[in-house]
Amino acid sequence: AILQEMYEVYSVFLKRCEEYFLCRYLPPEGVSSVGEHLRLERDLYLQKLPEEQRKSRLLVFDYLMRRETCIIGSGDLNAVDLMEIGSYTELPGGNISLPTGFSSILGPLAKHVPPEKILKGHAVSVVRWNNAAEDETQLLGAQMEEKQKVEILCDNGKVFYADSVICTVPLGVLKHSAKTMFQPPLPDNKMTSIEKLCYGTVDKIYLEYDRAFFTSELSELILLWDKTDDTADMASRWYRKIYSFTKINDTLLLGWISGEEAKYMETLSFEIVSEKCTEILRLFLADPFVPKPKRCICTSWWSQPYSRGSYSSIGVGGSQLDIQTIAAPLYAQPHHTIPSLLFAGEHCHPSFYSTVHGAYLSGLDAARYLCELPGIVNTQQDPVTAASDSSNSKQTRTQTSADADADEEARAPQTSSSRCENKNVSQKDASTSDLTLTVEGTADLSSWLHGISLN
């Protein structure tokens, strides 16, 4: 009953936070974060209750806040902007478990891209997006064409040239490497927005057992800890950030952890994490015979060089404008009609940031932006898509697209239908015609986007 009561109270308080964005109310003075606002409302609520009823409710509220850090993707709700939390939009239809994993999304998309055009193991180190000479009028036609190309340098020594590049590296990678990755450096406003958006760490801990020990009625073990001293040594408190263990099946448990505590956990061996989790389970189940897991696997999104975190949120002082600033295409020269550099990824969607559908839709937006530019004819060469392997992910992820390529590997026949198609008009007329991006066989994808189960 207390859990139900506090869950309802918490939901109302969170909704009120969201209303600041939707209704543009002014928050109470000195309150700028979601964490501060939630605590303020919590304290007012608890004050009205008899002393003896407060503690258990306080602990449940604290659990809900720890859980929220994993949902929002910021380890500390005091770092999440109060005025902007409402900018995130939930897709109707609830969460969907993809029956066969992300391959059911990527499969239909990748099917139309010739395999040789998806390059794995090509980590991009430098993107020279403005090679144009200061005075282009002094260059001859061919020279100028070469100069106007974007040059992409990979860690493995390969070099690619493109008219335009769509950069989909995660915000964490932009935060870490944008200064060195882009030549010339990205404009100041883009760099400031990259700094202002948050890219939090959220990790999962999987515990696999030889035998079931959760009773059949128990689906989740919620962990209510007494107040944690946040100034204490991380080694003595990191595990208190795990908010629960959920039963995935009879022999598999899942715990979630966020923020600095998650980063610390990533430095520990699976063995140590496993021992600590066993200790916690024995304590909370009051059962010294809880078995040790036969296997413990933890994600390490913060430590992965091609992720450097999990997903984006809007930090105190940031806004949706920062997302738009990051996503804005860059033109090498003011008179250029085609942007050299475009951006996509979850951090580029103003209301679906932090999600797969946000990433997908922002990619479509960037591609459509290019396709709809007057004078773009995409029937000559298909996009070359390079994707590096991310050891933490089972997905094949697209990271950069280039429409021309100096490398032999990429000089493949153009057969893909995953491209801009000029609907019912001749190529000659393409510059003035309506161009649309079509990807055949992705009807199920739109069902997914509308929240309808693929089953």
For position 170 contacting ligand FAD by CB under 6 A, the verdict is: yes
Which residue stretch of 2-10, 75-83, 113-121, 353-361 sits at the interface with ligand FAD (rule: CB under 6 A)?
A: 353-361
For position 169 contacting ligand FAD by CB under 6 A, the verdict is: yes
CB of residue 2 to ligand FAD, shortest distance in Å: 28
**Buried-exposed string 353-381: b where 16+ CB fall within 10 A, e elsewhere:** bbbbbbbbbbbebbbebbbeeeebebeeb
Contact status, residue 324 vs residue 189, Cβ threshold 8 Å? no
What Å distances lie between residue 394 and 4, 21, 37, 166, 388, CA to CA? Answer: 36, 36, 38, 22, 12
What Å distances lie between residue 109 and 118, 221, 440, CA to CA? Answer: 12, 39, 8
CB of residue 431 to ligand FAD, shortest distance in Å: 31
d(CA 265, CA 269): 8
Give the residue carrying structure tokens 């989740």.
Answer: 220
Q: Which of 85, 110, 342, 387 binds ligand FAD (CB under 6 A)?
A: 387
* DSSP strand pairing (435-438 vs 419-422): antiparallel
Bridge partners for 436 per DSSP: 421
* Residue with Cβ nearer ligand FAD (41 or 203): 203
Residue nearest to ligand FAD (CB): 397
3 state DSSP class of 245: strand
Angle between helices 34-47 and 51-72 (to 10 degrees): 160
For position 96 contacting ligand FAD by CB under 6 A, the verdict is: no
d(CA 286, CA 196): 44
The vertex-373 CA angle with 368 and 374, nearest 5°, equals: 145
Q: Which of 33, 74, 244, 307 binds ligand FAD (CB under 6 A)?
A: 307
Which residue stretch of 12-20, 40-48, 163-171, 442-450 sits at the interface with ligand FAD (rule: CB under 6 A)?
A: 163-171
* Residue with Cβ nearer ligand FAD (86 or 309): 309
For position 123 contacting ligand FAD by CB under 6 A, the verdict is: yes
Binding-site string for ligand FAD from residue 216 to residue 255, where x marks contact by CB under 6 A and - marks none: ----------------------------------------
For position 168 contacting ligand FAD by CB under 6 A, the verdict is: yes
Report residue 10: phi and psi, to 5°.
-60, -45
Q: Which of 311, 323, 343, 418 binds ligand FAD (CB under 6 A)?
A: 311
Q: Which of 301, 302, 343, 448 binds ligand FAD (CB under 6 A)?
A: 301
Q: Which of 399, 418, 422, 442 binds ligand FAD (CB under 6 A)?
A: 399
* Residue with Cβ nearer ligand FAD (274 or 399): 399
Q: Which of 69, 355, 418, 422 binds ligand FAD (CB under 6 A)?
A: 355
Q: Which of 124, 152, 223, 376 binds ligand FAD (CB under 6 A)?
A: 124
Give the residue carrying structure tokens 């806004």.
Answer: 319
d(CA 10, CA 296): 32
CB of residue 363 to ligand FAD, shortest distance in Å: 7
Residues that bind ligand FAD (CB under 6 A): 95, 123-124, 168-170, 173, 202, 204, 301, 306-307, 310-311, 345-346, 354-357, 359, 387-388, 390, 397, 399
